[in-house]
Amino acid sequence: MRCVIVWATWAVWQEMLSVLATKKIVLQTLDLAWSDRSAWKVIQTYLWPKTVIACQSIDFSHYDVALFAAGSDVSKEFVPRAIASWCRVIDNASLFRYDEHVPLVVPCVNKWSIWSASLIANPNCTTAIAAVVLYPIYQKFGIKTCIMSTYQAASGAGAAWVEELDAQLCAYPQTIDKYTVFPHALACNVIPRIDAVQENGYTKEEMKVVWEMRKIFADPDLAVSCTAVRVPTMRAHAESITIQTTTPIDASVLHEIRSNNPHVLVVDDPSKDIYPLPRTAQWTYPVQVGRIRQSLVFGEYGVDLFVCGDQLLRWAALNAVEILEEIM
Amino acid sequence: MRCVIVWATWAVWQEMLSVLATKKIVLQTLDLAWSDRSAWKVIQTYLWPKTVIACQSIDFSHYDVALFAAGSDVSKEFVPRAIASWCRVIDNASLFRYDEHVPLVVPCVNKWSIWSASLIANPNCTTAIAAVVLYPIYQKFGIKTCIMSTYQAASGAGAAWVEELDAQLCAYPQTIDKYTVFPHALACNVIPRIDAVQENGYTKEEMKVVWEMRKIFADPDLAVSCTAVRVPTMRAHAESITIQTTTPIDASVLHEIRSNNPHVLVVDDPSKDIYPLPRTAQWTYPVQVGRIRQSLVFGEYGVDLFVCGDQLLRWAALNAVEILEEIM
């Protein structure tokens, strides 16, 4: 298998190479492409030193798969080129996610949709983390309604935001009010807006959860609502989720469902202070789930739960590499 | 009016005196009572220096009202004594909140229940913040269901927790893993457990919201669910709330409802980054409300909103003083 990773940031680059190494994935070729400006730079990774090639000069016919980790602008220009050269594409950007001809894939949910596709979209991290946990419930009990409030890490907004939070925390308490990339100081705060505000008042991040959950579960009638909130954590997102099921659900059986799922780690003994935490979920592959409770609102037709997953891994790196594994 | 504040912590003490001063409340007597150990200490407040009296030696017949800011143990011992001496009691502890003979009061919701009561209970801060915002909606549209996820500040757990978070932030990033009062480090983390875990898997903090919302709204059928999460903020709680109403509700009219309510401040222009924030809500009296959206799950019968209020003021100080004002 010959692969090229197109236009990742340094952080995502490292994550992808780390996941490829951890999973011992053998590739005939692995090239890294960036802007013309960055071409011929040598990226010293712990795997191997690698000379960056320029996006403009890529001959996609030399590759079997291109992993696009760029924004929608880069995807718009280069993804059609790759496909025209019979190079299959895994795209992290949101550009093609809502195209009805493009499968949106979380491998443990809908890997069947990968087989014949020349372009596969990688979902938003918030959706991917929830989908991994909710799909086994969806399969066994059916889900009618999903109401979510998030606790999202700075890394979801990019490296500059992590650096700004880090700088605010380092300076605490003196200069904690300094911020340039965040709209407000994030240290000692929570910011209830992520991405652009849509006409209906929800943010794009919130609507991504709605649109993508429906598409991944292939259920356009799924009722989903989300309030997306940035909190001062570094790289793991947490989500408080209430679901209403179509058939009765017993909170106690969920423990068993989870324990047979390698993508999920049940951490649910709250009286012993065992529950999902951003600081224990970061840098790990499984999505943590805990605080599983029979719903006080939907009764036997619902549960409340709390999940936590490393957003950089789940979104950009791990999910994309899992799709690559399926293609291989 | 002759008052005594019984067994407040230094922080709550200061908050109460500050609210009394700001509201220019004239009292004939204002005494401060504490443990025998602390009696005869002089508390230098910005209002006046005050000699602390010992709880054991209080003659409650000298007072018209006693404000209890202690835990349930102190309330259990001294509240019956005060009432027996015809001194009316406003109690911040949770001990008597669920007694059917004791009104649980948020003055802008149910001040009518104060009149004849010798003992008035002050609700949990999380409930009080939500009740201030939800009651006008409850009155106009009816509320059937309320689903809440919280973002609660360290101060809700007491001064020791604020100090520990402060110490963690000051030491960042070197010794951020040091913690003794929290069950986990709170800096760069969120902790999805507050108070003791109940038999149904919900924590006592979560069940307080359920029990107290029903009691304050005098609606035992109100379906309420809560996931209570501690976040690394200092003294304002935030809450993501989804409500289902009994009659159709239009998200746009909510702006008008709020603008006629002095206890609420509408901050809702998210595309300009105007929304409730812990860092702007702290040290202020009104509860901030924003991110008001027509529900994607309940359609015309629901809204999503985000609220934020200073938990020390709303719970211990402001709400209790507002009850005192009603008694006066």
pLDDT tens per residue, range A199-209: 999 999 999 99
Give me the pLDDT at residue A43, please.
Answer: 73
Using pLDDT thresholds of 50, 70 and 90, give the confidence band for residue B252: low
Spans of all domains in chain A: 2-123+317-327, 127-311
A31 vs A192, higher pLDDT: A192
Query: Which of B146, B147, B209 to probe by mutation at the A interface, max A CB count within 10 Å?
Result: B147
Give me the pLDDT at residue A47, please.
Answer: 61
Residues of A in contact with B214 (CB under 8 A): none
Nearest CA in chain A to B232: A188
pLDDT tens per residue, range A121-137: 999 999 999 999 999 99
Residues of B in contact with A276 (CB under 8 A): 192
Give the separation between CA A322 and CA A69, rounded to whole angstroms.
Answer: 15
Give the separation between CA B64 and CA A211, rounded to whole angstroms.
Answer: 60
User: A211 by DSSP, 3-state: which?
Assistant: helix
Helix/strand/coil (H, E, C) string of A223-285?
A: EEEEECCECCCCCEEEEEEEEEECCCCCHHHHHHHHHCCCCEEECCEHHHCECCCHHHHCCCC
User: In this complex, which of B151, B189, B279 lies closest to A185 when CB atoms are compared?
Assistant: B279
Residue whose token pair is 């069947």: A112
Find the helix or strand (DSSP H, E) in which A79 lies: helix A72-84
Q: What CATH number has the domain spanning A127-311?
A: 3.30.360.10
A311 in contact with B, Cβ within 8 Å: no
CB contact under 8 A, A292 and B187: no
CB contact under 8 A, B149 and A145: no
Answer whether residue B236 shows pLDDT above 90: yes
User: A325 by DSSP, 3-state: which?
Assistant: helix
Give the separation between CA A291 and CA A240, rounded to whole angstroms.
Answer: 9
Give the separation between CA A234 and CA A228, rounded to whole angstroms.
Answer: 16
Across residues A96-118, what is the average pLDDT? 93
Give me the pLDDT at residue A87, please.
Answer: 96
Answer whether residue A230 shows pLDDT above 90: yes
CB contact under 8 A, B293 and A151: no
Using pLDDT thresholds of 50, 70 and 90, give the confidence band for residue A154: very high
User: A51 by DSSP, 3-state: which?
Assistant: strand
User: A37 by DSSP, 3-state: which?
Assistant: helix
Check if the beta carbon of residue A124 is closer than 8 Å to that of residue A315.
Answer: yes
- Name the H helices within chain B: 10-22, 72-84, 107-110, 125-141, 159-171, 204-216, 251-259, 278-281, 311, 318-327
B192 vs B157, higher pLDDT: B192
ipTM of the modeled complex = 0.94
Active site residue A87: no
Across residues A256-264, what is the average pLDDT? 77
Active site residue B184: no
Check if the beta carbon of residue B239 is closer than 8 Å to that of residue B126.
Answer: yes
Give me the pLDDT at residue B18, please.
Answer: 86
Check if the beta carbon of residue B284 is closer than 8 Å to that of residue B255.
Answer: no
Which candidate in A3, A108, A237, A263 is catalytic?
Answer: A237
Give the separation between CA A190 and CA A206, rounded to whole angstroms.
Answer: 16
Give the separation between CA A249 and CA A145, rounded to whole angstroms.
Answer: 14
Answer whether residue B11 shows pLDDT above 90: no
Q: What is the CA radius of gyration of chain A?
A: 20
On the CB side of B96, how many CA atoms lie within 13 Å of its CA? 25
pLDDT tens per residue, range A278-311: 999 999 999 999 999 999 999 999 999 999 999 9
A70 vs B277, higher pLDDT: B277
Using pLDDT thresholds of 50, 70 and 90, give the confidence band for residue A46: low
The domain defined by B2-123+317-327 carries CATH number 3.30.465.10: no
Answer whether residue A260 shows pLDDT above 80: no
Give me the pLDDT at residue A181, please.
Answer: 86
Across residues A265-278, what is the average pLDDT? 95
Give the separation between CA A69 and CA A319, rounded to whole angstroms.
Answer: 12
Nearest CA in chain B to A223: B297
Residues of A in contact with B221 (CB under 8 A): none
- Name the H helices within B39-117: 72-84, 107-110
Comparing C-alpha atoms, which of B40, B55, B119 is closest to residue B87? B119
CB contact under 8 A, B201 and A270: yes
Query: What is the percent of chain A with per-residue pLDDT over 90, rounded to a whole number?
Result: 66
Give me the pLDDT at residue A259, please.
Answer: 66
Which candidate in A55, A87, A125, A146 is catalytic?
Answer: A125
Give the pairing of strands A2-6 and A29-34.
parallel
Residues of B in contact with A189 (CB under 8 A): 233, 277-279
Residue whose token pair is 């009990």: A141
**Gap from A122 CA to chain B (nearest CA, Å):** 24
Using pLDDT thresholds of 50, 70 and 90, give the confidence band for residue B259: low
Give me the pLDDT at residue A254, please.
Answer: 73
Query: Mean pLDDT score of chain B, rounded to an integer?
Result: 90
Cα–Cα distance list, A311 to A266, B75, B146 (Å): 18, 46, 29
CB contact under 8 A, B192 and A306: yes
